Amino acid sequence: ADHMDLIQEGNVGLMQAIKKFDPSKNVRFYAYAAWWSRAYILRYLLHTFRLVKVGTTQDQRKLFYNLKKEKAKLEREGFAPDTKLLADRLNVRERDVVEMDQRLGNWELSLDQPIGEDQEHTLLDVLPSHHEPADEQLADHQLKTLFRAKLAEFIHTLEERDEDILRNR
């Protein structure tokens, strides 16, 4: 994230702290403001971390902020940070741990990114497609349209009885 964006989010958090601060609660303003600034910066990082949104549920946000720290903590304690143990410690589902671990561990790829030595092809060029190419779809459509037109012409040349037989088959 850009440093200026982070500073700006911290400033928004500071403004929120100014609005919500209650001196009668016996809390120092700098501690209260630091909490709000940090919250806004972390929220910004969460929303701009990837093109695909990462932390959309409470459990995902918990994992986004704590998964890496919890893994390190388990390793310091002498445990292998497996999925079940992490899920138990963070009070989330194992499936969510696996999903967030994959999201945080892999970088995004652009389909327009050049690949190969010649850099002429992109990742999109080598991905398999389950659809016919557009030119083949167009040719197929034109062929079917032509066939229907010729069939209609042929039907008009038939006698009424033959036409009924053909239509009812």
Quick one: pLDDT at residue 107?
A: 57
Contact 54, 65 (CB under 8 A): no
Q: What percent of the chain has pLDDT over 70?
A: 89
More confident residue, 72 or 133: 72
Domain ranges of the chain: 1-48, 52-127, 129-167
Quick one: pLDDT at residue 81?
A: 83
Residue 65 burial (CB < 10 Å; 0-12/13-18/19+)?
A: middle
C-alpha 141/C-alpha 133 separation (Å) is 12
- Provide the pLDDT confidence category of residue 42 given band limits of 50, 70 and 90: confident
Average pLDDT, the chain: 82
Most confident of 18-32, 37-51, 77-91, 127-141: 18-32
> Is residue 52's pLDDT more than 70?
no
Q: pLDDT tens-digit profile of 63-113?
A: 877 888 888 898 898 888 888 888 888 888 888 888 887 777 655 566 777
Q: What percent of the chain has pLDDT over 90?
A: 23
> Is residue 132's pLDDT more than 70?
yes
Cα torsion at 94, 99, 105, 111 (round to 10°)?
Answer: 170
**Closest by Cα among 59, 108, 51 to 86:** 59
Quick one: pLDDT at residue 101?
A: 78
pTM for the full predicted model: 0.40
More confident residue, 128 or 25: 25
Quick one: pLDDT at residue 105?
A: 67
